[in-house]
Amino acid sequence: MTNLNIKTKTIATIAVFSALYSVLRILPTVPMIGAAGASFSLSDVLAPLYGILLGPYVGSAAVIIGTFLGMLMGKPVVFLGLDFLPAFINVVALGFLIKRKWLPVIILNAALVLVFSLYPLTSLLINVGGVSIPFVWLHVVAFIVLLSPLGRRAGQWVESLQPTSLAAGIAILAFIGTMMQHLMGNILFETILAQPIGYIPTTAYPGIWTTIFFAYPLERLALVILATMVGTPLVRVLKKSLLKDSKPSTPNL
């Protein structure tokens, strides 16, 4: 395949997946706690799959373009135009994991946990029945999964295309990616929506974080389940198609 054909195929891939992302971007799911009128989008299910299928570069380009197309189609701008960043983090992280680039994802994940934990508006501990539980408990679990052999093997299981292994690999990768996406979203939520830049009083954040603490594990679990259900047949079909297309043709003799 010539360089021109490769570039044409890449541009076409970005265009198609950007359009799909933009359409799902304007379809709301659950309301975003603390941000009046804002909601999570159905496109959040696609973010981990874009990383797995398209890799960190093509996948992130599709997410960025698709996010801005969604804005043009009426999706409200929440984070001053940086709305693409949470999904971008998800796509880049999983794209690197699929390419066996494990260390950059560890560094990025650790940095996100650290920045969020050190941010002055973050509630580090949430009181549940008299017991203080770290807000980031599920993010710590996801980070441990990333550090464990599961974090390394998940990409191999996806590449195997065996139904059971593929589903397990997608679930593990989607869990890691969606938790990193959540951290980036939380950082933007604190940085941009808090007064004086935004409209949320800083005194409201402890109550907001308490509500989010109970909601976010269910939200993230739902995204992982949906990504696995949609992704298992989709990745299997598209990966096989890509492998077939990449084989050199045999001339007729």
Q: Tally the domains of the chain.
A: 1
Q: What is the pLDDT of residue 30?
A: 77
**Could you state, in chain order, the average pLDDT of each consecutive group of 10 residues for the chain (253 residues)?**
76 95 90 75 94 96 97 93 97 96 96 97 96 98 97 93 94 98 96 92 96 95 95 87 50 37
> Does residue 252 form part of some domain?
no
> Does residue 244 form part of some domain?
no
What are all long-range contacts of 243-250, with beta carbons under 8 Å and residues at least 24 apart?
none
Instruction: Fill in the DSSP letter of residue 134.
Output: E
Residue by residue, DSSP assigns 65-81 as HHHHHHHHTTPPP-STT
In this prediction the pTM is 0.91
Cα 229 to Cα 118: distance, rounded to the nearest angstrom? 36
- The pLDDT tens digits for 100-134 are 999 999 999 999 999 999 999 999 999 999 999 99
Tell me if residue 30 falls in helix, strand or coil.
strand
Q: What is the pLDDT of residue 179?
A: 98
> Does residue 10 form part of some domain?
yes
Q: What is the pLDDT of residue 4?
A: 61
Domain extent, residue 41, equals: 3-237
> Does residue 44 form part of some domain?
yes
For residue 187, give the nearest of 113, 80, 91, 87 by alpha carbon. Answer: 113
> Does residue 144 form part of some domain?
yes
Residue 196: asked if its preceding bond is cis (omega within 30°), the reply is yes
Helices (H) and strands (E) in the chain, counts: 8, 4
> Does residue 242 form part of some domain?
no
Q: Which residues contact 32 (CB under 8 A, 6 or more apart)?
A: 38, 39, 40, 78
Assigned token pair, 220: 């993230």
Assigned token pair, 82: 């940086």
Q: What is the pLDDT of residue 244?
A: 53
Angle between the N-to-C axes of helices 137-147 and 205-246, in degrees from 0 to 180, rounded to the nearest 10: 30
Instruction: Fill in the DSSP letter of residue 198.
Output: S
> Does residue 247 form part of some domain?
no
Q: What is the pLDDT of residue 243?
A: 47
Q: What is the pLDDT of residue 6?
A: 78
Q: What is the pLDDT of residue 172?
A: 98
Q: What is the pLDDT of residue 64?
A: 98
Q: Which residues contact 119 (CB under 8 A, 6 or more apart)?
A: 187, 190, 191
- The pLDDT tens digits for 178-190 are 999 999 999 999 9
Contact 74, 28 (CB under 8 A): no
Burial class (CB in 10 A: 0-12, 13-18, 19+), 172: buried
> Does residue 135 form part of some domain?
yes
Q: What is the pLDDT of residue 223?
A: 94
